[in-house]
Amino acid sequence: MSDFPHPSELLPHRPPFLLCDEIIDLKPGVSCTALWHLSGNEAFFEGHFPGRPTLPGVLIVESLAQTAGLAALSADDFAGKLPLFGGIDKARFRRQVIPGETLTLTAHLGKMSRMAGKASGEASVGGELACKAEMMFIIANAGDL
């Protein structure tokens, strides 16, 4: 069992949109590595694509954003805040991700302020790069929504 919190203890996301199953490395305010275990029973695989189920790229990028959110929200300065997507740059997809695979998600925070931040992330399967992206987000008060 991990000494790290469950992602739901830090992120406001809940199933079916909590895309990080467990944290395997966490440096609060700096970086996070999380895992997303894809069972194949996820509803999106039925329609994307029948006969050749493939994890949608937008969900890979969202899972990277959630991993960056774990890094940010684990820091005292951002505890209880809500990071919202502000932009995605340089997203590149290198391989398909299919049912039964585990996605290793790594995010590193870049420049941060009280109101916004940047992060970079990589998603891989078995050490093979599936996606990399740069992300920007704004930091909202959770009560402002």
Alpha-carbon distance values, 8 to 20, 21, 30, 66, 70 (Å): 9, 9, 19, 11, 9
Largest Cα separation within the chain, whole Å, is 46
In DSSP notation, 99-131 reads TT-EEEEEEEEEEE-SSEEEEEEEEEETTEEEE
- Catalytic pick among 6, 37, 48, 108: 48
Scanning the structure block, which residue is given the tokens 């940047």? 118
SS3 143: helix
Q: Is 37 a catalytic residue?
A: no
Catalytic residue numbers read 48
